[in-house]
Structure 1
């Protein structure tokens, strides 16, 4: 997939237009995140974000595009392998100021992820 198509997908996820395209996921978004703050072991309810990859449900995918708007907003597009052909995963995140909560703002009902320590 071309870089321009990926960038269009990222921008469509809701990151403001004054965004900056990056070659990696910024450090403050990296780490293990869980939808359940009490359970941080790797599971279907956890997500690992690295500089150039994302792990979802035990499947690691390569980050294809990253767009940031300031320190607290980012959009990520990754290719996640699965039983069917590789799928594109595109998400827009807002990081809470204390950097312990990551809000997936892609859908109309935001999903909150808690940073695992």
Structure 2
């Protein structure tokens, strides 16, 4: 497995644009990006894993400020594990509520579709 990736490769691997990757770096969501002798970004396997995690929690609605806080807590390593756990437990609760809300919406859609199927049979 390749241990170093340029920004174009990371963009392809993660589905994020190069612009978004630079934005995340400016927002301190992605840290410790190495640079080659020409100043180009060099990403590691760890960076790729971290970016994929960021994408997932962002897609569940974690606010940017919380993502930034979590990223900041990652920097010192295991000394902040309890704070990170607390953040993820709280976010997990919000995601569970989202899932329940989506299940309710899905049930309503199914009810409508059932009704439409009945009406279509009568045509």
Q: Same fold (TM over 0.5)?
A: no
> Which bin holds the TM-score, normalised by the shorter protein?
under 0.3
Higher helix share: 2
Q: TM-score, normalised by structure 1?
A: 0.26
Q: TM-score, normalised by structure 2?
A: 0.25
